[in-house]
Amino acid sequence: MKKMILDEEEKEILSSYERGEWKSVKNSNEEIERLRKYARNTLQKDKRIKPAGVLLSPGDYDELVYKKDFLDSVGRGIWDSEKGNAYSSEELKAALAARRSK
């Protein structure tokens, strides 16, 4: 398996998880649907607003692309979770421990 390279934000998220700071949601399907509703409402196009050109610096553009890719991966993770293609916390801890021991 390929070694994962994490950026600083991803390393902090992993450290936070390993410190036990993440808690399971009781009704994960309801929570996922609630968050999807927020996302849909946020992204709905208002028909009264006309499209406009926007100038972005290369750095801002790269950050937007990175965030879009991140959100896409979260969506894929939610889809996998709903299909049962996900690790339990115990399985994840074991997999991470096995990777670190190599």
Range of the domain at 61: 57-102
Interacting residues of 80 by C-beta distance below 8 A, sequence separation 6+? 86
Provide the pLDDT for residue 52: 73
Q: How many domains are contained in the chain?
A: 1
Provide the pLDDT for residue 83: 83
Provide the pLDDT for residue 46: 63
Q: Is 17 among the domain residues?
A: no
Provide the pLDDT for residue 45: 63
What predicted TM-score, i.e. pTM, was given to this entire model? 0.39
Q: How many CA atoms lie within 13 A of 77 on its CB side?
A: 9
Q: Which two tokens mark 77?
A: 């993770």
Q: Is 11 among the domain residues?
A: no
Provide the pLDDT for residue 36: 86
Positions in the chain short of pLDDT 70: 1-2, 43-49
Provide the pLDDT for residue 68: 92
Contact between 35 and 41 under an 8 Å Cβ cutoff? The reply is: no
